[in-house]
Structure formats: structure tokens, C-alpha cells
Amino acid sequence: MRVVFMGTPDFASSSLVRLLRSNHEVIGVFTQPDKPVGRGMKLQPSPVKAVALEAGLPVYQPEKVKNGEALEILKELQPDILAVVAYGKLLPEDVLQLPKYGAVNVHGSLLPKYRGAAPIQWAVLNGDQTTGVSTMFLAKEMDAGDVIFSEETPIGEQETAGELFDRLAVMGAELLVKTLDAIEAGTAPRTPQNHSEATFTTMITKDLCPIDWNRRPREIVKHVCGLSPWPTATAELDGQTMKIHKAEASEMKTSAAPGTIIAAGKQGITVACADGAVTITELQAPGKKRMRAADWLLGHPLSVG
């Protein structure tokens, strides 16, 4: 099939790379406009654009898709289908209806759970034991289209959102090609979502970073994992706001108030919380590199209690 790909971040670039190795023809790529990055505010292309340019594909970066510009480009390209993966813009109905087979999307959750932004991070933050990827036909409402395929996977107890993101990107890429193959063959299933079971996520912001020591050990560990690699969990230690990169539930018994340091040594920094304790094993001081908590303690001894 003649495919126009629409996507922006790393999660989407994995799907484009896989699609380029399939039997389908990618005739154009839509991605978000280049954004200024770093102190010099130098314009940087999206990961999807980088892949597209390397493959010699035409790239389109309209500021808006609802003003008719995208529709006119698509009329010229005449795709059979749109493959949309984390594009970052809602597509108007006239765009969705233009291709012969409409538009399909790869979403990082088992729909109808976790519609919206950051489904992968929230699956970890909420302590879910499983998650997955889904492909669906795009509809006017966000993430509400009929599901085509879905694939489930367990979430490791210490697996970070970044690690899960990388795994689901690969799974989603394979599922996209399977979906396009099935649509071309006329064998693609179409299962309406149960909208009454839908849950919605919100964007991840730095407001979520501070650890709440009034939570239970597993909840705190999942908080640390879910905010890795960005924006990273934080805690106040030695009068500084420290980034907490790794933590694990401790077997130490304590009656200390949540937030109290109950041990500091070779194992790391153990802090009391609700119904137990958590040991910080990797951290990062302001302006410093990430390091083992035990190594940081060598130059910054902390008082227990």
C-alpha cells in the first residue's frame, strides 16, 4: 500500500524504520516543526524527520493540520492509508476520510485503558503489572477508534518508563506492519472499544517529581521508575533537592515517621515511609553526575534520624 507516515518522537521513529523494511511504500512523512534545543536554541529536527531524510523521503511539517494545508498535500500524494504514531496533532475529519483505508494509529496501552498522553509512564507510575500496545482506526474523538490488534507484555518490578518505552516502541512497530498487512489483505479485525471502561491520562510534568514519603514502598519505587529518565523523582537530602534515579523496597522494620533517614551506608540511604522503608541506591546532586548513593555518602555523611 501507499502509506503516508505521521509521527514525531523516538517512539514513532521505530515504527517508520520498521515500515521502511516492509512491503509497503512510504510516499511521504509528516512530522512536527523543528524545535529550538539547548542554550543556543538551535533548531533540531524530530527523530522521525531524521529517519525520513536519511531514507530520502519527502518531509512535510505544517504548523497546523486544520487549516487545509495538510489536506492539500495529501490530495497530491494520494495515499492508500495514513499510519499515525505519536504525531502530536489531532487530525480533522476531512484528513481522516481522504485515504481509501482511512488512518490507523499505534498507541502505547491496551485500549480503552490510558487514552491520551503519556500512557507508558502512567502504567509504571500506577504500579500496573502489565501493559501493551494497540493499533486502531483513528476516529474524531481522541484514542476512541475501533481496535485492530493489541499485544500485552508484563512490566518488570524495577523496569523504568524509559526501558518500557523502548520495548513498546519495537512491539508497536511490528504491530503496525501486521496491521497494514491485514488491512491490505482484507482480514483486519475491527473491535469497537467499550467507552464506559475508558481511562484517561495527563501529561507528565515536573510537578510530579517530589517523592511523597507517606506512600508505601512499592508505590515510591514505581514513582521513581515511572519518572525515569524524565523528569526524574526528587527528594530533599542534606539541604539540597536531589534527583533520585533508583530506589528499592527495604526489608528494614521501622516505627520512624515517613521521611526519616533510618540508615545510610554501603546499601544506600534508607528512608522510612508508610508501612515500611525505601532505600535510595542511585542519586544525583545539583550540578553533579549521577552516582551510587553509597559513593555520595563518602563525602556527605548523613545523620540517621
d(CA 303, CA 260): 10
- Please state, in angstroms and as integers, the Cα–Cα distance from residue 1 to each residue in 25, 138, 215, 265, 304, following that order: 6, 18, 51, 60, 65
pLDDT band at 134, cuts 50/70/90?
Answer: very high
The DSSP bridge pattern shows strands 2-7 and 81-85 to be parallel
Q: Which pLDDT belongs to residue 66? A: 86
What is 2-201's CATH superfamily? Formyl transferase, N-terminal domain (3.40.50.170)
d(CA 70, CA 286): 44
| Rounded mean pLDDT, 251-259 | 95
| Rounded mean pLDDT, 256-275 | 97
Cβ atoms < 10 Å from Cβ of 240: 14
Q: What is the pLDDT of residues 186-224, one digit of tens each?
A: 999 999 999 999 999 999 999 999 999 999 999 999 999
Break the chain into its structural domains and give their ranges: 2-201, 207-299
User: Who has greater pLDDT, 127 or 67?
Assistant: 127
- On the question of pLDDT at 39 being above 80, the answer is no
pLDDT band at 266, cuts 50/70/90?
Answer: very high
Q: Which pLDDT belongs to residue 12? A: 97
pTM of the predicted model, to two decimals? 0.94
d(CA 291, CA 153): 31
Q: Which pLDDT belongs to residue 238? A: 84
Task: Count Cβ atoms within 10 A of the Cβ of residue 75 and give its class: 0-12 exposed, 13-18 middle, 19 or more buried.
Answer: exposed
> b or e along 215-224 (b: 16 or more beta carbons within 10 Å of the residue's beta carbon)?
bebebbbbbb
- On the question of pLDDT at 40 being above 80, the answer is no
Task: Count Cβ atoms within 10 A of the Cβ of residue 283 and give its class: 0-12 exposed, 13-18 middle, 19 or more buried.
Answer: buried
Length of the chain in terms of residues written:
305
Kindly report the average pLDDT of the chain as a whole number: 96
Task: Report, at the CATH architecture level, how domain 207-299 is classified.
Answer: Roll (3.10)
- Please state, in angstroms and as integers, the Cα–Cα distance from residue 171 to each residue in 151, 192, 265, 289, following that order: 8, 22, 40, 32
pLDDT band at 36, cuts 50/70/90?
Answer: confident
Give the contacts of 80 (CB within 8 A, at least 6 positions apart): 1, 2, 3, 99, 100, 101
* Termini Cα distance of the chain: 65
